[in-house]
Structure 1
Amino acid sequence: MRKSTSDRYGSVAITIHWLTAILIVVLLSTGFNAADSADSATKAQFLRVHIPVAVVVFLLTAFRVFWWIARDKKPDPVPGLPRWQEFLARNVHFLIYAIIFIMVASGIGMMVLSGAGPAVFGGGGALPDFRDYAPRTPHGIGANLLVLLLVGHIGAALYHQFIRRDGLISRMWYRGARSRVESR
């Protein structure tokens, strides 16, 4: 279990990052599909995936925050990175974490206030119209903001990879056996 160094992320941070990224794609897909579905049974099927995956993303994100605070440090900024880009990157990451926590809270709020748990997991009853519950608004806004932030995050990573060519993406990937041998 490698911790981060001044120039790259450690294996724990890398694993959490990529696992969370994959699960967020699943969340966005199932969430938007559930919201767009007129059929209650189809909506419930999407939610049966969406809700447990959301719990896992919440736990991974909470662990990630704990990891940064208590166990590890983030690498130094990329050399030569303009201050405004460093500021923007730091704030985009913060907003992604904050939106994840807000989305979880609003999702729990919708489930509790609507009483939809039995309809989703127990197979009984009709699903309520989630638009009738106040947490639906921040949940929907959060999903759209998360999409925008992720597009910006991915766009910035691709900019660094293909325009700046500064190796930023390699900081968030596992070291191969060759790079371990070369670094000795």
Structure 2
Amino acid sequence: MKSTATKYGTVAVTLHWLSALFIFALMGSGFRAGSLVESTAKASVLSAHVPLGIIILLLTLARVAWWLFADRKPNHPAGDPGWQIMSAKIVHVLFYIVIFGMVASGIGMMVLSGAGTILFAGSAEPLPDFWDYLPRVPHGIGARVMILLLVLHIGAALYHHFIRKDGLIWRIWFGQKNQQERPK
């Protein structure tokens, strides 16, 4: 269940991939909702988007608690330059900051606009224009920063897998493979 010096444990791997799945669903539903004009269609998408945001918050809190109280991350790969190690740390910290910021701004929009009541209490009112509420700006910026972070994170994983061929990607997958195994 816990991580070793070279591989993430089952709990960390599960939290990572569940978070990835829900973040992609959240991003898709968020951009879809942002592109819709018709209130009923937008409300339908947001009624899935908001619970997905809560799920991401809970998964992120679980990850933070796991790393603070229960487990240690594997060592950085041997031979990685210092700038890559620092970049990876920065990207991971920024993921947490952006996730918490997105949750806060999403909750702010729901509360200030009254959309939570419309979405979840069966109100027949049309949704408000979210651009009328200040939390919409950081929410939109956060979504775009999240895309950038995902591109950097996935790009680094693909670089390690296909260019360096160091098996690093197997550290965050289920099973026994570890980074020292090189593909043949």
- Residue identity matched to 1:52: P
- Structure 1 segment 143-182 matched on structure 2, within 5 A: 143-176=143-176
Counterpart CA distance in 1 for 2:77 and 2:7 is: 10
Residue in structure 2 matched with residue 37 of structure 1 by the alignment: 36
Cα deviation 1:27-80 (Å, max 9, x = unaligned): 000000101101111110110110001101100001101100110000000110
Shift of 1:122: 2.8
Shift of 1:123: 3.3
Residue in structure 2 matched with residue 135 of structure 1 by the alignment: 135
- Residue identity matched to 2:143: A
Residue in structure 1 matched with residue 20 of structure 2 by the alignment: 21
Cα deviation 1:129-172 (Å, max 9, x = unaligned): 00000000000000000001001100110000000011110000
3-state SS, counterpart of residue 75 of structure 1: coil
Counterpart CA distance in 1 for 2:29 and 2:44 is: 9
Counterpart CA distance in 2 for 1:148 and 1:32 is: 15
- Residue identity matched to 2:163: I
Shift of 1:119: 1.6
- Structure 1 segment 49-88 matched on structure 2, within 5 A: 49-88=48-87
**TM-score between both structures, scaled by the size of structure 2:** 0.94
- Residue identity matched to 2:169: I
Counterpart CA distance in 2 for 1:82 and 1:154 is: 18
Shift of 1:117: 1.3
Counterpart CA distance in 2 for 1:96 and 1:42 is: 30
Residues matched between the structures, number: 177
Counterpart CA distance in 2 for 1:129 and 1:11 is: 43
Matched, 1:46 2:11: no
- Residue identity matched to 2:139: H
Counterpart CA distance in 1 for 2:158 and 2:87 is: 16
Seq. identity, %: 55
Residue in structure 2 matched with residue 182 of structure 1 by the alignment: none
Residue in structure 2 matched with residue 5 of structure 1 by the alignment: 4
Counterpart CA distance in 2 for 1:149 and 1:75 is: 21
Q: Which runs of 4+ in 1 moved over 2 A?
A: none
Shift of 1:7: 0.3
